Amino acid sequence: MCDNPMPISEKVTSPEVDLAAGRTSRRVLLQSGIGAASLAGLAGLGLAFAGPATAEPAKHSRRIDARTRAVLVGTAGGPIWRQADGLRGISTVVEIAGARYLVDAGHSSAAGLWGAGAIGPRDGMNDLSAYRAGFLTHLHSDHTTDLPNFLVQGFIAGGLGSLDAPFTLYGPGNRGQLPRAFPPGRPVDGPFNPTDPTPGTKSMVRSLLEAFATDINDRMYDAGSPRIDKVTNAVDIVLPEGISSNFNGPPPAMAPFTIFEDDLVRVTATLVDHGQLIPAYAFRFDSDDGSIVISGDTTLTDNLMKMADGCDLLLHEVIDYDSVNASIEALNVPPEVKAAFRNHMFGAHTTEKQLTALLKDIKVGTLALHHLVPGSIGEQAWHRVAQRIGHGSRTEVIAGLDNMVLGVGR
């Protein structure tokens, strides 16, 4: 495992500028660590004292004036573009007093930041200067394919990161072993990239950037851009001492643990059950205004329920059982491959019935469905799913849509 360069250190009390209202309130500042910076340093970068910047009014907004909010840049799950039906791949931006934090980067999400109102106003660039950190729930491609766009074009023409405060991406580390073949005994034609078959976030990002070395060096030598590895950084999340991934079943019971903190937010993580894609995380963002939990891909997991209980907003994945089952049945593949698809889809994801059961065990302010699979059943169908899940519950349940903005707190 790689060392985490941003340990949660001893904290000091310091006034925080309420960027939305100009008031001060108490928050804690990290004394050290990559990805955190002093208020003075951030002001010099134009980050800390820039109010919420919006490219254009976001559609489907609810509480758009909130100081802490989630921008649903993309809401489609899965690698099949046809089944996404025009929705962007899964990606969320958490905004707090103008600072931004990226969670996952599915297909089309980088360019979609503009339409979602999650790019700053500076002309002539992809203004990403307000982005402080990013987080990957897991390393499936439908959560990561737009990372090259975000990082490379963000560094070239977006002001992403700085020498004083690099943009830092946190995600799963190297799992250390291959998944088992399913059904058991099914032959697999060796691992791809056998010298490094299960790279973690740090290694993956390094490889992605190396693939764009021609472009990156041209921007440095011809256009004066900084070295991309000096203004961006990737970190493998390190599990707490005594906790390790379980490769033979659900993740071990654990308490959420802190992976990032700055003057505006504390981000905690917990292991969730996404079948054989290990490790997979859910994240919780706690600010002075409230809490936002993002499930990542998972079936019902006790760790996630513990993390989400009492939160203001839960963004949780969902699959439509009947549609997914029908699409698997229609595949022209051997029966054992259909069995593998069913095992993954229904053993590593969450159905409508399971989400209904979840709301009986925990209390959340609002549940927003996202990572919709398949998106092709249409907006109205997902609205009906949300209504059924929320029926009789104390929780407001809504269907997430691309460009939706959901605020919490003041």
Please state the pTM of the whole predicted model. Answer: 0.85
DSSP letter (8 states) at residue 53: P
User: What is the maximal distance between C-alpha atoms in the chain?
Assistant: 63
3-state secondary structure of 71: strand
The sign of the torsion formed by the CA atoms of 377, 383, 389, 391 equals: negative
DSSP letter (8 states) at residue 310: T
CATH topology of domain 52-408: Metallo-beta-lactamase; Chain A (3.60.15)
DSSP letter (8 states) at residue 153: I
pLDDT at 182: 86
pLDDT, one tens digit per residue, over 161-209 is 999 999 999 999 999 999 998 888 888 888 999 999 999 999 999 999 9
Confidence of residue 1 (pLDDT cuts 50, 70, 90): very low
By the 8 A CB rule, do 4 and 237 touch? yes
Q: Which residue has the higher pLDDT, 137 or 6?
A: 137
Does 20 score more than 70 pLDDT?
Answer: no
CA distance 283 to 100: 15
**Two tokens at 291?**
């809490």
By the 8 A CB rule, do 343 and 312 touch? no
Q: What is the residue extent of each domain of the chain? A: 52-408
Bridge partners of residue 76, in order along the sequence: 89, 372
Confidence of residue 62 (pLDDT cuts 50, 70, 90): low
Does 34 score more than 80 pLDDT?
Answer: no
- Tell whether omega for the bond before 279 is within 30 degrees of 0, i.e. cis: yes
Distances, alpha carbon 91 to alpha carbons 202, 259, 349, in Å: 19, 19, 17
pLDDT, one tens digit per residue, over 65-89 is 899 999 999 999 999 999 999 999 9
| Nearest Cα residue to 234 out of 304, 157, 193, 174 | 174
Confidence of residue 122 (pLDDT cuts 50, 70, 90): confident
CA distance 400 to 403: 9
Q: How many CB atoms lie within 10 A of CB 153?
A: 19
CA angle 374, 375, 380 (to 5 degrees): 120
CA distance 77 to 357: 22
pLDDT at 61: 56
Checking 141-145 for CB contacts under 8 A at 24+ apart, the result is: 141/79, 142/77, 142/78, 142/79, 142/89, 142/90, 142/106, 142/107, 143/89, 143/90, 143/104, 143/105, 143/106, 143/296, 143/297, 144/104, 144/105, 144/106, 144/204, 145/89, 145/105, 145/106, 145/107
pLDDT, one tens digit per residue, over 261-318 is 999 999 999 999 999 999 999 999 999 999 999 999 999 999 999 999 999 999 999 9
Nearest-Å Rg of the Cα atoms of the chain is: 21
Looking only at the bridges linking them, the beta strands covering 313-319 and 99-103 are: unpaired
| Nearest Cα residue to 26 out of 35, 16, 36 | 16
pLDDT at 25: 33
Does 52 score more than 70 pLDDT?
Answer: no
By the 8 A CB rule, do 373 and 299 touch? no
By the 8 A CB rule, do 402 and 112 touch? yes
Q: For residue 196, which phi and psi values (nearest 5 degrees)?
A: -155, 70
3-state secondary structure of 290: coil
> With pLDDT > 70 as the criterion, what percentage of the chain qualifies?
85
CA distance 227 to 73: 28
